[in-house]
Chains A and B, each alone.
Chain A
Amino acid sequence: MRVWEFCRRNLKETYRDPLALGFLLAFPLLFMLLFGAIFSGDTTPNYPIGVIDKDGTPVSQAFVDEALAEVPVLEVATYENAASAMEDLKLGNISAYIIIPHGFSEQISRSWQDEEANITLEITYDESDFMATGQIISTINAVTRSFAHIEVPITINANPIHIETEITYIDFIAPGIIIFGLLILIPTSARIIVHDKEKGFLSRLLTTPLRPVEFISGYSLCLVVIAIAQIIIFILVGWLLGMDIVGSIGLAFLVFLLTALCSIGIGMVVAALSKTENQAEPLCWMLCPWLCSPGAGFP
């Protein structure tokens, strides 16, 4: 009961503070909208890629002319041999080239017939073009998988999770921005607590019968409520912008929630270590690079 009172007070302090709200919601949402706007529709960056069809069957032809050609981010050009494609790659005319090997159609057919298939595509790309490479590989991966599954008899849909019909930029960028939004919980939770510490509100409450465990749970509860609201809003906006959630939305929520809890915990540690808001801030930013390193942000 006392915990809830304290938690409610913390929530009010946060949602009535435009700055805090801005940091928690508006900032990441703005990013998402901005990136969504920049990289959607007509302005989608196009990656020219080359294709060498060594298989030369109607199936591989269909893969090139229909599946690959339909992907909005790719501009497909066909080459006779690897040497000429390599020349263009070196000149920067194409970002990557794919070699469709012999036996590609057989493997695809096997896959269509629900048999075990070993589809391989050889992709040669320019390593230095990090952004393009990442997207091309993931796009081709998705396209190939969907091609291998798409015209199958119904029985093959046993594993529909892997059918990714469309990869857009928002799919790539949204999870990263959501994580970024949740990472903002680190400075926010540190700020909320350190603010009370600095202004003496914590001391004032320490003269009341509020127990230490109630302080910690009061703050955590408040921050968890904020985190849940954040996740729901982010997923909703991402979805409105066209982000697909492949698999369970509950699991996605859980992953985000765990990230949020981690942020809150780190924020609280920062709050415990610092005496003033000015101390807390650089401590938070010092922690941020580590958090990005394990690939939590962008896959």
Chain B
Amino acid sequence: MKDDLAIETFSLTKIFNGLVAVDGIELGIKKGQLFALLGPNGAGKTTTINMLCCLLKPTGGTATIMGYDISQHPFKVKEIIGVSPQETIVSEHLNCGENLALIGRIHGINARELKVRSQQLLETMGLADRAKDQVRKFSGGMKRRLNIMMALIHNPQVLFLDEPTLGLDPQARRAIWEYIIRLKGEKTILLTTHYMDEADFLADRIGIMDKGKIVALGTSTELKISILEKHTIIIYAWNLTQKVINEMKGRYEEVEVIDGTMMISDKQLDFKEIVDRLHSYGAIVRSAYIQEPTLDDVFLHMTGKELRE
């Protein structure tokens, strides 16, 4: 079971001048899993990543990456990880290929493999035609893509993506998401984000982090179900007579009708039963769906505050 884990933390703690940034987190991330740390700014996500990639020394506790302890064998760890930092960090006067080559060669990749991998990455990230241009002339989105490519050039086993789509337009975000999805299963990925949709769309498992602690852990669905106290079904229907409404009000806890839209909430809801019942009373159901809680609701529930700033 333990061999299964690519990243494991043991009450990992970081204190900056009395301020507890990361408060004894216990995490286990399986090999090949895409794990998202979701939390507002200042929750301790980046500090956690920085400790895992040996940039910061933990104040207490430790962690292992593919079995190597981050405090005892930092250089072993550095050999097998790829890190895409939160800020776009590229060498501005170097061109795209040279930036990739620098990281690749530092990791000891031979020239032939480097060429193949750079070409591959440049093509999938859509930068092949700009490979020879100095990076300082690039747009923010292009630099951002290069930032991620630089974490991937040496084919690391474990990938850390710190806010990979921060400040990108929706189109560029989508492109990066699609690329990350392709990496799923191949590599263990720890991703931090404060976008719920990003975590929802990409992650196998999500850890919600607040004030240095992991407050909730699980798949997106598990997290949503965990906070569900009441289900809500929303029905668009014709011919919603007062009789139908009264009938439904008698059966379910909360029933509300606004302009031909009926909302029914209760602890237990049977989709088919409700639709059949409506039909039997003469209403014609055009569409009906169960409203699911969002990760935002989960976050609100767990921490008592909104995720987005």
Contact = CB atoms under 8 A, between A and B. Distances in A.
B55 A207 contact: yes
A196 to B, nearest CB: 9
Contacts of B98: 9, 12
Contact of B85 (A1, A204, A209): A204
Contacts of B107: 208-209
Contacts of A13: 91-94
A200 B85 contact: yes
Interface stretch (B76-84, B231-239, B268-276, B290-298): B76-84
B285 interface: no
A218 to B, nearest CB: 10
Per DSSP, chain A at the interface is helix
Interface in B47-103: 53-55, 75, 78-79, 81, 83, 85, 87, 89-94, 98, 101-103
B132 interface: no
B102 A16 contact: no
Contact of B106 (A12, A201, A208): A208
B75 A209 contact: yes
Nearest to B134: A16
Nearest to A196: B91
B79 A209 contact: yes
Most B C-beta atoms less than 10 A away, residue of A199, A200, A208: A208
B89 A209 contact: no
B105 A201 contact: no
A63 interface: no
A200 B89 contact: yes
Interface residues of B, number: 26
Contacts of A207: 53-55, 78, 81, 83, 85
A12 B55 contact: no
B89 A210 contact: no
Contacts of A1: 105, 108
Interface string A6-26: 100100110011000000000
A160 to B, nearest CB: 48
B5 to A, nearest CB: 21
A5 B106 CA distance: 7
B83 A204 contact: yes
A206 B83 CA distance: 10
Nearest to B99: A9
Contacts of B102: 5-6, 9
A61 interface: no
Contacts of A162: none
A201 B150 CA distance: 12
Interface in A192-250: 199-201, 203-211
A2 B105 contact: yes
Contacts of B89: 199-201, 203-204
Nearest to A205: B106
A72 to B, nearest CB: 47
B138 to A, nearest CB: 15
B87 A200 contact: yes
Nearest to A211: B75
Contacts of A2: 105-106, 108
A258 to B, nearest CB: 29
A238 B165 CA distance: 54
Interface in A1-58: 1-2, 5-6, 9, 12-13, 16-17
A210 B108 CA distance: 10
Nearest to B90: A201
Nearest to A4: B105
B87 to A, nearest CB: 5
B16 to A, nearest CB: 15
A5 to B, nearest CB: 4
Contacts of A201: 89-91
Nearest to B94: A12
B109 to A, nearest CB: 11
A208 B93 contact: no
A14 to B, nearest CB: 8
Ranked nearest first, the 9 interchain pairs of A and B with the lowest CB-CB distance are A16-B93, A207-B83, A5-B105, A204-B89, A200-B89, A207-B53, A209-B78, A13-B93, A208-B106
13 contacts: A2-B105, A9-B91, A12-B98, A16-B93, A199-B87, A200-B87, A201-B90, A203-B89, A204-B85, A204-B150, A208-B107, A209-B106, A210-B106
Interface of A: 1-2, 5-6, 9, 12-13, 16-17, 199-201, 203-211
Given A13-B92, A208-B107, 18 more contacts: A2-B108, A9-B91, A9-B102, A12-B91, A12-B93, A16-B134, A17-B93, A200-B89, A201-B89, A203-B55, A203-B89, A204-B89, A207-B54, A207-B78, A207-B81, A207-B85, A209-B78, A209-B106
